């Protein structure tokens, strides 16, 4: 029984990128690995052009390699060319449909929490989350609705309670302002990836108490802080054949 448990834990280990110094200085691809079951909430942040979309594409492929049975909900508010290869997948939501995507995920989460039973791990990925919230808030003012409140409350609850029943969230954003996460829910991210150049405010907001390297990072480079571990510099490698990578993601995600 102990051996079986160890194998299961190893199978849940996911690559979150490579150690940047070893990759840059010695061309060594030594992966940064963390268990999906203990580190299922991830915040990816960085300014425009820092490589967030490319890193997300890499991480989605790694996620499905480490846990191919995971059920993915993907919300792509900007309807980008990077991820429209998922357009025929049943849980891909773009533009205004992202509201339905998050609420569908929240419904599945609530049902699992009430029943106390979830046989499959789930993940919700929200790209351009702040732009989506801003859009909903503008719409709420115009139409006197509460769509933004629905989303902020749902995401907050999942961040605080989802880990124990296998429901995770990945949020991708240029800025990770606390106003996007109700009741301090931002503190529940087990992994924070910050790419490119961060403002002093962002550094203080996300990495309070951490001693950060005094560097200017290039595209696809940055820092990674995982709950319970020391801060690391991370590098996302070039995907040699992006078409094959996307084809693999699509084939696994639709099984």
Question: Mean pLDDT, to the nearest integer, of 82-104?
Answer: 96
Question: Mean pLDDT, to the nearest integer, of 41-54?
Answer: 93
Question: The CATH number of the domain where 192 resides is what?
Answer: 3.40.50.300
Spatial contact of 132 and 173, defined as CB atoms under 8 Å apart: no
For residue 172, the model assigns a pLDDT of: 96
For residue 1, the model assigns a pLDDT of: 28
Return d(Cα 58, Cα 12) in angstroms, integer: 17
| Residue 51 labeled ligand binder | yes
pTM above 0.85, yes or no: yes
For residue 5, the model assigns a pLDDT of: 33
For the chain, the domain total comes to 1
| Residue 47 labeled ligand binder | yes
Residue 31 pLDDT greater than 60, yes or no = yes
| Residue 53 labeled ligand binder | yes
For residue 9, the model assigns a pLDDT of: 39
202: pLDDT confidence band, cut at 50, 70 and 90? confident
Residue carrying structure tokens 């924070």 = 192
| Residue 52 labeled ligand binder | yes
**Structure tokens belonging to residue 1:** 């029984």
98: pLDDT confidence band, cut at 50, 70 and 90? very high
Report the range of poorest mean pLDDT among 52-61, 96-105, 118-127, 206-215: 206-215
| Residue 49 labeled ligand binder | yes
| Residue 46 labeled ligand binder | yes
Residue 244 pLDDT greater than 80, yes or no = yes
Question: Mean pLDDT, to the nearest integer, of 198-206?
Answer: 86
Domain that holds residue 53: 2-253
Tell me the pLDDT tens digit for each residue of 134-159: 999 999 999 999 999 999 999 999 99
For residue 141, the model assigns a pLDDT of: 96
HEC sequence for the chain: CHHHHHHHHHHCEEEEEEEHHHHHHHCCCCEEEEECCCCCCEEEEECCCCCHHHHHHHHHHHHHHHCCCCEEEEEECCCCCCCHHHCCCCCEEEHHHHHHHHHHHHHHHHHHHHHCCCCCCEEEEEECHHHHHHHHHHHHHHHCCCHHHHHHHHHHHHHHHCHHHCEEEEEEECCCCHHHCHHHHHHHCCEEEEECCCCHHHHHHHCCCCCCCCCCCCCCEEEEEECCCCCEEEECCCCCCHHHHHHHHHHHHCC
Tell me the pLDDT tens digit for each residue of 106-137: 999 999 999 887 788 999 999 999 999 999 99
For residue 222, the model assigns a pLDDT of: 95
For residue 239, the model assigns a pLDDT of: 93
For residue 7, the model assigns a pLDDT of: 28
pLDDT: which is higher, 234 or 12: 234
Residue % of the chain over a pLDDT of 90: 73
**In whole numbers, what is the pLDDT of the chain averaged over residues?**
91
Report the range of poorest mean pLDDT among 56-60, 112-116, 231-235: 112-116
For residue 12, the model assigns a pLDDT of: 74
**Structure tokens belonging to residue 209:** 């108490």
Spatial contact of 89 and 81, defined as CB atoms under 8 Å apart: no
């Amino acid at each position: 029984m102990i051996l079986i448990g160890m194998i299961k834990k190893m199978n849940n280990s996911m690559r979150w990128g490579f150690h940047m110094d070893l990759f840059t200085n010695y061309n060594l691809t030594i992966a940064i690995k963390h268990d999906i079951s203990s580190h299922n909430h991830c915040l990816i942040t960085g300014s425009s052009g820092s490589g967030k979309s490319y890193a997300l594409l890499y991480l989605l492929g790694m996620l499905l390699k480490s846990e191919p049975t995971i059920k993915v909900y993907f919300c792509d508010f900007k309807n980008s060319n990077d991820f429209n290869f998922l357009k025929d997948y049943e849980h891909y939501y773009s533009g205004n449909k992202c509201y339905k995507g998050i609420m569908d995920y929240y419904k599945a989460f609530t049902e699992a929490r009430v029943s106390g039973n979830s046989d499959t791990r789930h993940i919700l990925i929200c790209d351009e989350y702040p732009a989506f919230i801003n859009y909903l808030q503008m719409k709420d003012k115009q139409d006197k609705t509460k769509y933004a409140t629905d989303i902020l409350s749902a995401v907050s609850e999942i961040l605080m309670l989802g880990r124990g029943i296998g429901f995770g969230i990945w949020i991708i954003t240029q800025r990770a302002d606390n106003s996007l996460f109700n009741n301090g829910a931002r503190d529940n991210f087990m992994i924070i990836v910050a790419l490119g150049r961060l403002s002093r405010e962002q550094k203080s907001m996300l990495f309070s108490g951490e001693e950060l390297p005094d560097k200017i990072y290039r595209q696809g480079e940055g820092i990674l802080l995982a709950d319970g571990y020391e801060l690391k510099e991370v590098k996302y490698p070039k995907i040699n054949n992006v078409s094959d990578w996307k084809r693999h993601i699509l084939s696994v995600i639709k099984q």
